[in-house]
Every structure is written in C-alpha cells, then in structure tokens.
Amino acid sequence: MSSRQRVIIAGAGPVGLMTALGLATQGIPVLVVEQAPALTVDLRAGSYHPPTLEMMAPYGITDRMHETGIRVPIWQIRDRRSNAVAEFDLGLLSDITPYPYRFHLEQHKLTPIIFDFLQKQPTAEVRFGTQFVDVAQEADGVRVTVESDGRQEVIEGAWLIGADGGRSAVRKSQDFEFDGYTWPELFFVISIADDLAQYGYAKNAYIADPDEWIALFKMPGDRPEGMWRVIWPVDPTVPEEVYQRPDEMEGRLQKFQPKPGPYQTLYSSFYRTHQRVATRWRKGRVILAGDAAHLNNPLGAFGLNSGVHDAHNLIEKLGRVWRGENLDLLLGLYERQRRTACVEHVQANSIRNKRLLEEKDPEIRRQRFEELQRTAATPELARDFLLTSSMISSVRRAAAVA
Ligand SMILES: Cc1cc2nc3c(=O)[nH]c(=O)nc-3n(C[C@H](O)[C@H](O)[C@H](O)COP(=O)(O)OP(=O)(O)OC[C@H]3O[C@@H](n4cnc5c(N)ncnc54)[C@H](O)[C@@H]3O)c2cc1C
C-alpha cells in the first residue's frame, strides 16, 4: 500500500483521537502526530452532554467513562445576590436519550480511554513527540512536514486533519481565517476537596453575579469523595501569583461560601477564552475539527462536546469518501453542518450563558430569573430549554442542514 493511503491527524487531544478511532474502525489507515511526549494531562474539560455520550458509546468509550465518572441529572442556575435558584432535571429527556444527565469526568481521563481503544486497531498509529510543522497539498494527497527530536521529516497521506487545538498550526499553515474575539477576563479555576453539596449546590451550578459570577462542577478527582472545581472571572492585569496566594484563594472561597475552618485547595489554573469560528473548515485535502476550527467560553460545556460532534460527523463522511463517494459533496456537507451548529448553537448559547451570568442591571436580572424559574417549573418549557442546553438541538440542527 502506498504511504499516501492513510489519513494524517495532527493532535492527540480528544478530537484527534476520536477521529482516528472512528476512521480506523472502518479499516482506514490513520497516523496521529502529537507534539507532546505523551497524552497531555489536560484539566480543562470535564462535563459531557447526552449526544456526546451517545456518539462515543458504540466504541465502548461511554461504558468505560461510567466506571469512574459522575452522573449529574440535576443542575442549577442561581443568583448570587438574591439566592434565587432555577433547577433543571435532565430526567425529563429520558424518553429520548439513554443518558439523561450531564456526565463529569476529567478530559485527561477520557483521552487514555479513547487511546486504549485506538491502540487495538491494526490500522492506527500514534507518534508522540512529533510536531506538525507544515503541509504541501498535491492533487491526490498531502506532504506533511513534521519534527521530532529536532529533525524534520516529510510524511505523506491522502488527507490531513487539523485537530491540534486552539492555536492550530494546521489552521495557520493554510491561512484559514479565524474570526471572532477574545474575552478580556481570565477564567480562574480553583479545585477544592470540600463538599459544596452540603450548602445546596447541585453538582453543576452557574451562579450569576454582576461583579463576579461563579461556575461549579463536581469532578471525580483522585479521591473517592471527588472534588469541586470553582471557576471565576479575574482581571488579567493582576499577576496570577497574586490570585494564587493561599490567603487570597481562601478569602475568595469564604466570601463565596462562608464555612468554619479553611478550605482545602488542591490546585488552581488560569485560562484565556475566546469566541472564534474558522470561516472555512476545509481547504482541499486539509480539514479542521475541534478547537482548531472553533473556540468558545466554557459556560455551558460546549467546546469538547462539539469537537466530538465534529469528529462523529467527519468520521462518517470521510469514510464514505474513502470508499469512493463524492468528495466535494460530502466534505462540503461536513463543513456546512458542523459550522452551522457551531455558529447558531455553540457560539450563540455560550455567549448568552456568559451574558446571563454577568448581567449588571438588577431589573433585567430579576426578570431573567423569574423566567428561568418559570421555565424550570413547567415541564414543556423545561424540556425545550434542556434540549438546547444539552446540545440535542444543536446536533439536530446540524443533521437538518442539506
Ligand atoms: C476552563 C475550561 C473548562 C472547559 N470545560 C469544558 C467542558 O466541561 N466541556 C467541554 O465540552 N469543553 C470544555 N472546555 C473546552 C475543551 O477543553 C476543549 O474544547 C477541548 O480540549 C478541545 O479538544 P481538541 O482535541 O480539539 O483540542 P486539544 O484538547 O487542545 O488537543 C489538541 C492536541 O494537539 C496537540 N498539538 C498542538 N499543536 C500541535 C502540533 N503542531 N503538532 C502536533 N500536535 C499538536 C496538543 O498537544 C494537544 O494534545 C473547557 C475549556 C476551558 C478553558
């Protein structure tokens, strides 16, 4: 077999690995190049929606996730000032999904599961410590320059998929436009061992406040009791070390939820977030997926989920192209379907979620919370709301694009 008879994927994050697994399962040779020496210990994502669990289930991934993850059927939107709570129960969707809950598991515990399944595929290869550098496109394939141990090498394939994250070198190498903006604040994540459920917080809660909103996620962590991730917006002009001082973090946590004795802080980290979508997702034989194609703020937990939705869509279409079906038609459809879902749902809803949490006008906040509580208390309204927040509408929207 010619070395062109394979798909090269840049990036062994969740999206690159998922795409590789889906293609290899169809017998298509895949080579994943990952710049890091091993799977990265990524602390970013951790909350998965029902369609994503459904898409990963046929590979056995979802069952494996359930061995250690946490089911979160009930989640909340709260107002920090008035203490108003709107509580949503995903059990309302149990007639349309086998997974009527959000599911919490750290991103760095998902990637080894996918990798484990990928290693069992005879047509799959993953090269760590190998960085994508550049690509030259030819009529029937791609010549990809990679670098490992300071040495450059050219590898050939039929297609190149850029799943190399937000700073995607693949995207830059082909001058894909990446329109959008960067949020001014940093997202500061503090992980704590203390149990916030005892104060009435659901395992996933978004807490609105005009000065300092908060998002909470209960995660498995490395302890049987699990841990909580608490996310806050902070000023990027203040040095990160200031926010990470133990007394600063303790004061911040006590101001949010006073309690006797100090909090047990496990670790903390900062993230810059963006709203950006590539104008094109494919140029010739180079295709983008996941964060390489789109970025959103994490309020709503859409980033990794939508990346897996990209992979799921692309696996099916590229598989058909591989078996001889119309290339332009199918890959054009991939781009249109996923980009539409991304712009109309992922971008729109993540921006709306952030605006809801940071709204400054007290009257607008009051009205919104009344509306949210009415929605949560009315099953038909709650169901519609949940279809959107759980990304089921987004997947349906993509499928409706012809
Ligand atoms: C605070 C925070 C919380 C989040 N929480 C959630 C959540 O709960 N749910 C959710 O759905 N999303 C969440 N996200 C978003 C989620 O983390 C990302 O959408 C997800 O990691 C994207 O996966 P990916 O595989 O596309 O990219 P990445 O995870 O970034 O993986 C890209 C891979 O490519 C490799 N790479 C990069 N450049 C090269 C190169 N030149 N050559 C070879 N390899 C390369 C990298 O090393 C990496 O392994 C969150 C984000 C943040 C910041």
Residue nearest to atom 15 of ligand 1 (CA): 303
What number is the average pLDDT over the span 166-170?
A: 98
Q: How confident is the model at residue 2 (pLDDT cuts 50, 70, 90)?
A: low
Distance, CA of 79 to CA of 177 (rounded, Å): 38
Distance, CA of 378 to CA of 375 (rounded, Å): 5
The Å distance, Cα 97 to ligand 1 centre, comes to 26
The Å distance, Cα 302 to ligand 1 centre, comes to 12
Task: Decide: 401 and 336 in contact? Cβ < 8 Å.
Answer: yes
Give start and end residues of each alpha helix (H) in 282-391.
303-322, 327-341, 348-358, 362-377, 379-389
Q: Find, among 272, 287, 395, the residue nearest to 342 by Cα.
A: 395
Residue nearest to atom 21 of ligand 1 (CA): 304
Q: How confident is the model at residue 1 (pLDDT cuts 50, 70, 90)?
A: very low
What number is the average pLDDT over the span 228-237?
A: 98
- Tokens matching residue 171: 């995207």
The Å distance, Cα 295 to ligand 1 centre, comes to 10
Task: Decide: 268 and 190 in contact? Cβ < 8 Å.
Answer: yes
Q: Find, among 253, 195, 259, 188, the residue nearest to 223 by Cα.
A: 195
Backbone angles phi, psi at 259, to 5 degrees: -155, 155
- Tokens matching residue 27: 């017998």
Distance, CA of 300 to CA of 110 (rounded, Å): 19
What number is the average pLDDT over the span 273-301?
A: 98
Distance, CA of 145 to CA of 268 (rounded, Å): 36
Residue nearest to atom 27 of ligand 1 (CA): 165
- Tokens matching residue 289: 């997926």
In terms of Cβ atoms closer than 10 Å to its own Cβ (0-12, 13-18, 19+), residue 4 is middle
- Tokens matching residue 361: 């006008």
- Tokens matching residue 7: 């798909």
The Å distance, Cα 109 to ligand 1 centre, comes to 13
The Å distance, Cα 113 to ligand 1 centre, comes to 16
- Tokens matching residue 174: 């082909």
The Å distance, Cα 13 to ligand 1 centre, comes to 6
Residue nearest to atom 51 of ligand 1 (CA): 44
Least confident of 2-11, 256-265, 365-374, 381-390: 2-11
- pLDDT tens digits, one per residue of 340-366: 999 999 999 999 999 999 999 999 999
Counting residues of the chain whose pLDDT is more than 70, the rounded percentage is 99
pLDDT for 43: 84
Query: Is pLDDT above 90 for 3?
Result: no
- pLDDT tens digits, one per residue of 95-153: 999 999 999 999 999 999 999 999 999 999 999 999 999 999 999 999 999 999 999 99
Ligand 1 atom nearest to 305, measured from its CA? 11
- State which of 44, 178, 288 you would mutate to test the pocket of ligand 1, scoring each by most atoms of that ligand within 8 A of its C-beta: 44
Q: Find, among 38, 187, 15, 29, the residue nearest to 107 by Cα.
A: 15
Residue nearest to atom 49 of ligand 1 (CA): 13
Ligand 1 atom nearest to 15, measured from its CA? 25
The Å distance, Cα 116 to ligand 1 centre, comes to 19
- State which of 9, 18, 41, 107 you would mutate to test the pocket of ligand 1, scoring each by most atoms of that ligand within 8 A of its C-beta: 107
pLDDT for 42: 82
- State which of 35, 182, 187 you would mutate to test the pocket of ligand 1, scoring each by most atoms of that ligand within 8 A of its C-beta: 35
How many other CB atoms are there within 10 angstroms of residue 361's CB atom? 10
pLDDT for 164: 98
- Residues touching ligand 1 (Cβ under 6 Å) are 10-16, 33-36, 40, 42, 44-47, 107, 131-132, 163-165, 169, 187, 189, 271, 273, 290-291, 298, 301-305, 307
pLDDT for 308: 98
Q: Is the torsion defined by CA of 225, 198, 204, 183 positive or negative?
A: negative
Q: Is the torsion defined by CA of 56, 57, 61, 66 positive or negative?
A: positive
pTM: 0.98
Q: What is the 3-state secondary structure (H, E, C) of 120-131?
A: CCCCEEEECCCE
Q: What is the DSSP string of 210-245?
A: SS--EEEEEE-TTSTT-EEEEEEEE-TTS-HHHHTS
What number is the average pLDDT over the span 192-207?
A: 98
Distance, CA of 201 to CA of 205 (rounded, Å): 7
Residue nearest to atom 35 of ligand 1 (CA): 11
Task: Decide: 171 and 160 in contact? Cβ < 8 Å.
Answer: no
What number is the average pLDDT over the span 56-81?
A: 98
Q: Is 258 left (phi over 0), alpha (psi -120 to 50) or beta?
A: beta
The Å distance, Cα 301 to ligand 1 centre, comes to 12
Provide the 8-state DSSP code for 37.
S
